[in-house]
């Protein structure tokens, strides 16, 4: 029999990941990787180790849509990627894309974030 995951009884976490452009989302979907700013790395790594699952919901700034969502597949390492070609990104980590689809924010207006003054999730 398979032993249970050591994190199975821990909470599930969700993060909205804003990208400056659609090209970064395309690279992520093709290669199964993501990179974020160093200021986000500590929060994401803590969530990865302290949660059973971490879901990342992606949106390009100014698009008015979500571009899909993925599961965080590894902790963030020190290795950087040249794929984004932009300074300011930290280490690379694996993501497992679950849904790749443009979903307008209006379809999620009923979702409110209690940790952000109950603002709409977008």
> Is 16 part of a structural domain of the chain?
yes
Quickly count: other Cβ atoms within 10 Å of residue 59's Cβ: 22
The answer to whether 45 touches 26, Cβ cutoff 8 Å, is no
The structural domain count of the chain equals 1
Q: Whose structure tokens read 């409110």?
A: 112
> Is 3 part of a structural domain of the chain?
no
Quickly count: other Cβ atoms within 10 Å of residue 7's Cβ: 13
Q: What is the pLDDT of residues 78-97, one digit of tens each?
A: 888 777 766 678 889 999 99
Whole-structure pTM value: 0.81
> Is 4 part of a structural domain of the chain?
no
> Is 66 part of a structural domain of the chain?
yes
The answer to whether 89 touches 35, Cβ cutoff 8 Å, is yes
CATH number, position 91: 3.10.590.10
**5: exposed, middle or buried (Cβ count in 10 Å: 0-12, 13-18, 19+):** exposed
Residues spanned by the domain of 46: 12-120
Q: What is the pLDDT of residues 65-82, one digit of tens each?
A: 889 999 999 999 888 877
């Amino acid at each position: 029999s398979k032993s249970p995951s050591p994190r199975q009884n821990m909470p599930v976490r969700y993060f909205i990941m804003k990208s400056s452009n659609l090209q970064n989302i395309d690279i992520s979907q093709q290669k199964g990787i993501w990179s974020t700013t160093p200021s986000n790395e500590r929060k994401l790594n803590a969530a990865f180790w302290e949660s059973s699952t971490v879901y990342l919901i992606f949106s390009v700034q100014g698009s008015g849509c979500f571009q899909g969502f993925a599961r965080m597949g590894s902790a963030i390492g020190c290795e950087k990627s040249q794929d984004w070609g932009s300074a300011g990104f930290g280490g690379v980590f694996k993501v497992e894309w679950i849904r790749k689809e443009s979903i307008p924010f209006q379809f999620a207006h009923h979702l409110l974030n209690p940790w952000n003054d109950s603002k709409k999730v977008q």
